[in-house]
A = this chain, B = another copy of it.
Amino acid sequence: MNKTGEDLTALFASLNASLGDRFVTSQAVRDAHGRGEGLHDIMAPDGVAFPRSTEEVAQIVRLCADHKVPIIAFGVGTSLEGQIQALHGGISLDMSQMTQILATSAADLDCRVEAGVTREQLNAHIQSDGLFFPLDPGANATLGGMAATRASGTNAVRYGTMREVTLGLTVVTPQGEVIRTGGRARKSSAGYDLTRLYVGSEGTLGVITELQLRLFGIPEVIAAAVCQFEDLAGAIEAVTVILQMGIDMARIELLDELQMQASIAYSKLDGLREAPTLFMEFHGSPAAVDEQIAQVGEIVGQLGGGALQQAKVQEERNRLWTARHNGYWAARGLRPGCEAFATDACVPISNLAACITETKAEAAASGLICPIVGHVGDGNFHVLILFDPSDPAERQRADALAESIALRALHHGGTITGEHGIGLHKLGLMEAEHGEALKVMRAVKQALDPDGIMNPGKTIPAA
């Protein structure tokens, strides 16, 4: 019997018969599939299946559908909002054996991959063709998982999110049928956009098994630069003007003075001060990059920014972006023994300064240590809320602050999550963001997954 009272004996026998040792029910393996990188408790699935093909996924889904047993697709477990906890038990579909890169085309700047391919695996594979896949959420996530959460990261300001770079999908429906959405054409007006319906649906409408993705040519020149500001408002104003002028930034990241304090200590960023800082990257031809850097230099100069400190060689660039990606670990160093989680507000850029300023005031009033990093070109920022895990009252204060930050994003015309998704953790805020539109989402869920076996309890709150 699993936690919803299902007798799983027959299902397990069938899964064993089809998958052999690729169906596992040991506690250790189940626990390893019971949560992502968020702070949530482990909620283990009843078993873990390791399919090797779309057809095997379909077969597993049909078996589970026959028994009305939940199915939770699993990439590498780096989701942050409780997307993979087995709230109602069921079978975790671990995609780690579906890692084939099925096709790449330099002429079409696209590829087709199985859902278990990670972004680093893809980039290693295509580099020799002069191609790259820019989206970089930090973690070396699977591309299936990135599509499922509509992930993005530091490069989205130029290259878009998974919404923009996913051209098509292979999906196993809750009924165990295999469908293909979208295609290889760059655009299409042929019916409903199912690709973008599945992108961001967090496994609640079906299992993504293959993706057709856009690729990009590796830029001739990649240059990075750092600029420090007297105050946050100046830094954000600079970003606004840079974007408004159409300067095609590849990355433009904000670290506030507290995050800089943490990162200077953790990543040995010599020569930088504890002040609001922009980390930037420029892609293009030599002339284009030179022009962009000159234009940006002029803008930041007018808005109280210091001189651009350029990182021209790859080693310096790597040091910078490694420091940026290690922001979470650096921040935790601000308070030994603490834990931390990240909020994910995203607002129109004209409201970003106000939203961050208000947020910092509220964070200060809470008494919690809260450094901020942000994909500011998209209006997206993460407050890393540090708290003492042994102090339930402090955890409660941290949670209340996080909720307030999400609601403030809505107040400023934004969204409760720019890139981390809803999962379990933000379910309670969906109504505030979507209002009546939530009914339409529920109708879609009910229509496509009437038995509610696909990642139940996630993304769309019950009515």
What is A's interface to B at a CB cutoff of 8 Å? Answer: 105-110, 149-152, 156, 160-161, 163-164, 173, 177-181, 183-194, 196-197, 199-201, 205, 216-217, 219, 240, 243-246, 248, 284-285, 287-288, 291, 295, 344, 346-350, 378-380, 409, 413-422, 426, 430, 433-441, 443-448, 459-460
From known contacts A197-B192, A348-B105, infer whether A187 and B441 are also in contact, taking CB-CB under 8 Å. Answer: no
Please state if A190 and B433 are interface contacts (CB–CB under 8 Å). yes
Q: Given the complex, which residues of B lie within 8 Å of A248, measured CB to CB?
A: 248
Shortest C-beta distance, A303 to chain B (Å), equals 14
Contact of A189 among B149, B181, B347, B437 (CB under 8 A): B149
Max chain B C-beta neighbours (<10 A), residue from A108, A194, A284, A416: A108
Q: Given the complex, which residues of B lie within 8 Å of A173, measured CB to CB?
A: 440
User: Please, how many angstroms separate the alpha-carbon atoms of A108 and B289 in the complex?
Assistant: 24
Contact of A163 among B187, B243, B448 (CB under 8 A): B187
Contact of A185 among B185, B243, B415 (CB under 8 A): B415
From known contacts A434-B190, A444-B444, infer whether A107 and B420 are also in contact, taking CB-CB under 8 Å. Answer: no
Q: Given the complex, which residues of B lie within 8 Å of A184, measured CB to CB?
A: 347-348, 413-414
Contact of A188 among B106, B193, B291, B346 (CB under 8 A): B346
Contact of A447 among B106, B160, B349, B443 (CB under 8 A): B443
From known contacts A106-B244, A187-B152, A439-B177, infer whether A197 and B196 are also in contact, taking CB-CB under 8 Å. Answer: yes
From known contacts A107-B244, A178-B436, A217-B245, infer whether A348 and B185 are also in contact, taking CB-CB under 8 Å. Answer: yes
Please state if B415 and A181 are interface contacts (CB–CB under 8 Å). no
Given contacts A161-B187, A186-B380, A190-B433, 17 further A-B contacts (CB under 8 A): A150-B193, A179-B436, A183-B415, A185-B346, A185-B347, A185-B379, A185-B380, A185-B414, A188-B418, A192-B197, A192-B444, A194-B437, A217-B245, A217-B246, A285-B291, A285-B295, A447-B448
Contact of A190 among B380, B426, B444 (CB under 8 A): B426
Please state if B287 and A418 are interface contacts (CB–CB under 8 Å). no
From known contacts A189-B418, A189-B419, A417-B188, infer whether A436 and B197 are also in contact, taking CB-CB under 8 Å. Answer: no
Please state if A186 and B379 are interface contacts (CB–CB under 8 Å). yes
User: Please, how many angstroms separate the alpha-carbon atoms of A409 and B186 in the complex?
Assistant: 13
Give the nearest-CB partner of A294 in chain B: B287
Max chain B C-beta neighbours (<10 A), residue from A187, A349, A378, A435: A187
Q: Given the complex, which residues of B lie within 8 Å of A430, measured CB to CB?
A: 190-191
Give the nearest-CB partner of A449 in chain B: B443
Give the nearest-CB partner of A436 in chain B: B179
From known contacts A246-B217, A436-B179, infer whether A444 and B441 are also in contact, taking CB-CB under 8 Å. Answer: no
Give the nearest-CB partner of A460 in chain B: B191
User: Please, how many angstroms separate the alpha-carbon atoms of A426 and B188 in the complex?
Assistant: 13
Please state if A189 and B440 are interface contacts (CB–CB under 8 Å). no
Please state if B189 and A420 are interface contacts (CB–CB under 8 Å). yes
Shortest C-beta distance, A289 to chain B (Å), equals 10
From known contacts A421-B189, A434-B190, infer whether A349 and B179 are also in contact, taking CB-CB under 8 Å. Answer: no
Contact of A413 among B183, B189, B422 (CB under 8 A): B183
From known contacts A244-B107, A379-B185, A447-B443, infer whether A191 and B418 are also in contact, taking CB-CB under 8 Å. Answer: no
